[in-house]
Amino acid sequence: MAATSKDTIYIDIDEEITGIIDKVRASDGKVVALVLPKRASVLQSIVNMKLLKRSADESKKNLVLITSEAGLLPLAGAVGLHVAKTPQSKPEIPMAPQTDFDREETIDEDEPVQLSDADAAVAPVAAAALAAAPVSADDVETVQLDDDAPVAAAVPSKGDAKKPKKNKKLAIPNFERFRLLLILGAVVLILLIGGAVLAFNVLPKAQISVTTNATSLNVRSNVTLSTAATTVSASDGLVPAKVVSQQKTATQAAPATGQKNNGLKASGSVTIALTGCNKDTVTIPSGSGVSSNGQTYITQSAVTLTSVKVGNKCNPSQFSNIYSQDTKIVAIKAGTDSNLAAGASFTVVSGTDYNSSDVKATADNPVDGGTDDITKVVTQSDIDSAKQKLTATDSSIKQQLLRQLQDQGLYAVTDTFLAGTPAITSSVEAGTTADTVTVTQTVTYTMFGAKESDINAVIDNAAKSQIDSSKQNILSRGLDNAQFTVIDNAADKADLGLQTVVTAGPDLTVDQLKQQVAGKKGGEVKSLLESNPGVTDVQVKLSPFFVTSVPKKASKISITIADPTPAATKSNATSNP
């Protein structure tokens, strides 16, 4: 069969490159139009595109790719395949992809793309074929080729296409590189500004250590905080105080675990008989107990039984009215569990003159009438369980009392925090019908507070005997780290033992020193502070390394007075015993 001049092949979206090549080789046409589906991933590989081109050349067939995929055009141009976006457009070889990304792109608007002789021969035939191809509703591109189109014109020659000339006047600058450089420049500028702010405003710090001839004194004294006092007596250790209190009520619920059956008790009658003749006469008094199936019943009348011997027979049946007798019984507990069927056997509780083995009891008729009406009742263990779950002390209350005193401008003596005796009540008593029981606990918490100046007056009085008031001042009374020992804590008065470390030395105020040294050089700071009486050494440390003067902000300046050596520490006996 003679080969036809053109052929149309539809490609599936999941078709492999080998299948496409086989279809091209098997085609009878010289011009083969490959209708590609959208997102044809098989030809998005340059290797597959080259294989397709080479197989077409070896089979002496001219290929036209019918596709509008922008990603396929550079690949088709790289291998020299004709492409038509629609059946009505003219096939052409797309531009090959630019491999040198740093090279400026040029556009020649005056000179059209030159095709080789072979491409020029193929283009009219492929255009005519594509013009007649309709587009289906589902956007699948198809092509219909004219059977009368000459085949010879579709055979390409091996001539090379002429390269288009470049117009250097239309060179497009690389705006991506320019934008990148602009962004990098802005980032560098921001970093420089931030670095300058950090270096000159945030990082600079000054640490100044001042060594003096200060002396630490261990001071002990007794202090009485009294709500009745109106003025401080430093010599007596009496300090006017105020007591703040706060009441906390806590509740804890517990489910009732007890049960009570308020139903009816079962009743009936039993026949009690002697089991042998070893007892002549047995009397079972009224109120005696008989039990069956775990239930206990009470007899309602007394029963007197006499054994009968006739020859060798003991208690023959014709004398049953002598050795046996009926009596009514009533269950001890209400409920259906006490109901029994006729014929139930009972065990008679032993009496004073008989044992359980001497008698037996049988219910001739059913024992019935017992009903259930179960309700929950609270037990004492339920109440005790709720009490155990209540928290005796709440740490948040202590903080609340401390803040109350501080809000009033008082020094809170937290060691006087006291939790009163809890008052506990129960919503119901034990044995009461209820589903739950709620236990309520009420505790009153108290704490003493006083003016800090009043407590300091007591400390100054205790320390004055250990310092030379003409040369030394009390620099710190150590009240923040003072230790209080509660001797007696009552509702209106608290007797305490106070122990603190007092620092005596030159009268230096840290805030004033910060104002004096702000903005000065290190040498100026050293000379200025060492001029104060009692200052023996000053060390100035500036950071970072490029900082040459003390920052002007007080928050950036740290001034510490070195702790005295242990040899300089003195202690005195307890004052105000």
Q: So what's the pLDDT on residue 101?
A: 40
What is the Cα–Cα distance from 570 to 501, expressed in whole angstroms? 10
Q: So what's the pLDDT on residue 271?
A: 94
Helix intervals (H) in 87-145: 117-131
Short-list 375, 383, 374, CA closest to 255 = 383
| pLDDT score of 241 more than 90 | yes
What is the Cα–Cα distance from 522 to 55, expressed in whole angstroms? 86
| pLDDT score of 285 more than 50 | yes
Question: Helices 510-517 and 522-530 sit at what angle, rounded to 10 degrees?
Answer: 140
Cα 508 from chain centroid (whole Å): 49
Centre a 10 Å sphere on the Cβ of residue 405 and count the other Cβ atoms it contains: 21
For the purposes of burial, counting CB atoms within 10 Å of the CB of 32, is it exposed (0-12), middle (13-18) or buried (19 or more)? buried
Q: So what's the pLDDT on residue 239?
A: 95
Q: So what's the pLDDT on residue 81?
A: 87
What is the Cα–Cα distance from 272 to 288, expressed in whole angstroms? 12
Helix intervals (H) in 3-72: 17-26, 46-58
Phi-psi region of 437 (alpha: psi -120 to 50; beta: other; left: phi over 0): beta
Q: So what's the pLDDT on residue 328?
A: 96
Q: So what's the pLDDT on residue 470?
A: 64
Most confident stretch, 14-23, 236-245, 502-511: 236-245
| pLDDT score of 392 more than 90 | no
Q: So what's the pLDDT on residue 564?
A: 58
Query: Out of 8-17, 100-109, 207-216, 391-400, which region has the weakest mean confidence (pLDDT)?
Result: 100-109
Helix intervals (H) in 257-364: 320-323
| pLDDT score of 135 more than 50 | no
Neighbour order of strands in the sheet with 6-10:
6-10, 31-35, 62-66, 82-84
- The answer to whether the beta carbons of residues 388 and 291 sit under 8 Å apart is no
> CB-based contacts of 338: which residues, under 8 Å, 6+ apart?
265, 266, 295, 297, 331, 367, 370
The percent of residues in the chain predicted with pLDDT above 90, rounded, is 27
What is the Cα–Cα distance from 2 to 448, expressed in whole angstroms? 118
Whole-model pTM? 0.41
The percent of residues in the chain predicted with pLDDT above 70, rounded, is 80
Mean local confidence (pLDDT), 206-224:
86
Q: So what's the pLDDT on residue 296?
A: 95
Average pLDDT across the chain, whole number:
80
What is the Cα–Cα distance from 43 to 65, expressed in whole angstroms? 10
> CB-based contacts of 109: which residues, under 8 Å, 6+ apart?
167, 170
- The pLDDT tens digits for 343-379 are 999 999 988 888 888 999 999 899 999 998 888 888 8
Q: What DSSP string runs through 379-397?
A: -HHHHHHHHHHS-S--HHH
Q: So what's the pLDDT on residue 393?
A: 62
Work out whether strand 31-35 and strand 62-66 pair parallel, antiparallel, or are unpaired.
parallel
Phi and psi of 462, rounded to 5°? Answer: -75, -25
- Measured CA distances, 557 to 375, 518, 535 (Å): 76, 8, 19
- The pLDDT tens digits for 13-32 are 888 889 888 888 888 888 88
Which token pair is 337? 């569990």
DSSP 494: E
Work out whether strand 238-255 and strand 215-226 pair parallel, antiparallel, or are unpaired.
parallel
What pLDDT band is residue 272 in, cutting at 50, 70 and 90?
very high
Q: So what's the pLDDT on residue 568?
A: 52
Q: Tokens 């080969």 map to which residue?
A: 3
- The answer to whether the beta carbons of residues 2 and 99 sit under 8 Å apart is no
Phi-psi region of 316 (alpha: psi -120 to 50; beta: other; left: phi over 0): beta
Q: So what's the pLDDT on residue 259?
A: 84
| pLDDT score of 520 more than 90 | no
Cα 152 from chain centroid (whole Å): 79
Q: Which helix (H) or strand (E) holds 404?
A: helix 395-407
| Bridge partner residues of 215 (DSSP) | 504
Angle value at C-alpha 272, between 271 and 273, nearest 5 degrees: 115
Q: Which residue has the higher pLDDT, 49 or 104?
A: 49
